[in-house]
Amino acid sequence: MSENGITTAGGAHDGSGEALRPHAEVAFAHELAALAAADDRPRPERWRLSPWAVATYLLGGTLADGTVITPKYVGPRRIVEVAVTTLATDRALLLLGVPGTAKTWVSEHLAAAVSGDSTLLVQGTAGTPEEAIRYGWNYARLLAQGPSADALVPGPVMRAMAQGMTARVEELTRIPADVQDTLITLLSEKTLPIPELGQEVQAVHGFNLIATANDRDRGVNDLSSALRRRFNTVVLPLPATPEDEVDIVARRVAQIGSSLRLPPAPQGMDEIRRVVTVFRELRDGVTTDGRTKLKSPSGTLSTAEAISVVTSGLALATHFGDGVLRPGDVAAGILGAVVRDPTADRVVWQEYLETVVRERDGWKDFYRACREVGA
């Protein structure tokens, strides 16, 4: 890392511990190194690990030397196996799911395990231009010299094609449809034409692309059938059980809290279970015992939002409390996550508080905290 803290595009951080959110290949470098050392299975060309080792990296396990590989994804094993197998072919991978199902997280860790570099990234937005996917120009050189190789500025996808690495396109459905279709030729022909130079970049072995998308958020641009056919689609579901979701939230809060220098919260698991229970009941429209039907708010109430609520609560408990995560620390965050529409969602939340939370054993302190915040 240079003195001003800037790292080279497409290059890994030096792992000095100063980064607020290290890339996966830095944060889990010891696990990747241990897997590489123990991995004696066939590897596709330019892959850092075999498909088996990539799946183990994501799902977790214990190696023969005793090294513990922490789970990066909690969910059906077959989903991970299909995703990894797709990357070992010439088909691109589309991770599809509602917001908060760990699409970006899985995408990053797949790229880190396969190529050792998760930074070849195009972040999709409504304003993403075609140049972000293909290439751009150094306009000073372009004006002085005209189109030339020196004036060309390759994008992440072009670099991945030339180096045989894994590129990532996040939030593909937020990119305008005409820009999305830039990928069609690239994925079908594995070639990126540069008509200004009369040249092309052909993908070398090892290149592939992971895209993420959801069809539940606002601002979504549906994929054309021609583009969708270029992908193998893997749907990431919401956590199947409350225990799985609690495990996911607890792991991510611990990781985020560590990077923010927040101490572990004593008794925090009780509040994590409570947040997960509230989110799942409102999301599913029924209480966990199946006895009471509920109205669902307009928000998704995803696992990612639960992680955010608990992390914010942990920060409150650390800086303005006694360090113990309590109902009052998460109440405001839950209210903000649930009540997106000030009129309709507030009615849903008040009904839930009065008909479910108020009558539930052991939840009186949570009920009072939520009433105080919403007053």
Give yes or no for residue 250 having a pLDDT over 70.
yes
Spatial distance between the Cα atoms of 262 and 345, rounded to a whole number of angstroms: 32
Could you report the per-residue pLDDT of 269-310, keeping only the tens digit for each? 999 999 999 999 999 999 999 999 999 999 889 999 999 999
H helical segments located in the chain? 24-27, 29-38, 51-59, 77-87, 103-115, 130-133, 139-145, 156-163, 177-180, 182-189, 225-228, 242-259, 268-284, 303-320, 327-338, 344-352, 364-374
Structural domain includes residue 324: yes
The per-residue pLDDT for 56 is 98
197 with 305, same domain? no
Q: Is residue 98 part of a domain?
A: yes
Is residue 48, in this structure, part of any structural domain at all? Answer: yes
Pair 43, 186 in one domain: yes
pLDDT at 2 over 60: no
For residue 343, tell me if it sits in a domain.
Answer: yes
Q: For residues 215 and 268, state if they share a domain.
A: no
Give the structural domain span for 132: 24-235
Are both 173 and 294 inside the same structural domain?
Answer: no
Domain boundary among 218, 235, 252: 235
Q: What is the CATH number of the domain that holds 213?
A: 3.40.50.300
- Mean pLDDT (the chain, rounded): 91
Give the helix, strand, coil percentages of the chain, each rounded to 5: 45, 10, 40
Look at residue 42 and tell me if it is in a domain. yes
Mean pLDDT of 23-38: 96
**291 shares a domain with 191:** no
Spatial separation of the C-alpha atoms in residues 112 and 117, rounded to whole Å: 5
Q: Are residues 192 and 267 in the same domain?
A: no
192 with 248, same domain?
A: no
pLDDT tens for residues 39-80? 999 999 999 999 999 999 999 999 999 999 999 999 999 999
DSSP 342: T
Report if residue 4 sits inside a domain: no
**Is the pLDDT confidence value at 255 over 90?**
no
- What proportion of the chain, given as a percentage, has pLDDT over 90? 81
Residue 9 maps to a domain: no
Q: Are residues 155 and 75 in the same domain?
A: yes
pLDDT of the residue at 265: 65
Decide which of 189, 209, 235 is a domain's last residue: 235
Question: How many structural domains compose the chain?
Answer: 2
Distance CA 221, CA 229 (A): 16
- Is the pLDDT score of 1 beyond 90? no
Residues 197 and 248 in one domain: no
3 state SS of 274: helix
Last residue of a domain, one of 235, 261, 294: 235
User: Is residue 213 domain-shared with residue 190, that is, in the same domain?
Assistant: yes
Residue 364 CA to residue 281 CA, distance in Å, equals 18
Together in a domain, 59 and 192: yes
Q: What is the pTM for the complete model shown?
A: 0.88
Shared domain check, 298 and 265: yes
What is residue 167's three-state secondary structure? strand
Q: Confirm whether 275 is domain-assigned.
A: yes
* CA–CA separation, 49 and 61 (whole Å): 15
CA distance 241 to 118: 30
Residue 190 is predicted with a pLDDT of 95
Residue 92, CA distances (Å) to 15, 191, 301 in order: 30, 14, 29
pLDDT tens digits, one per residue of 212-233: 998 776 667 889 999 999 999 9
Distance CA 133, CA 135 (A): 6
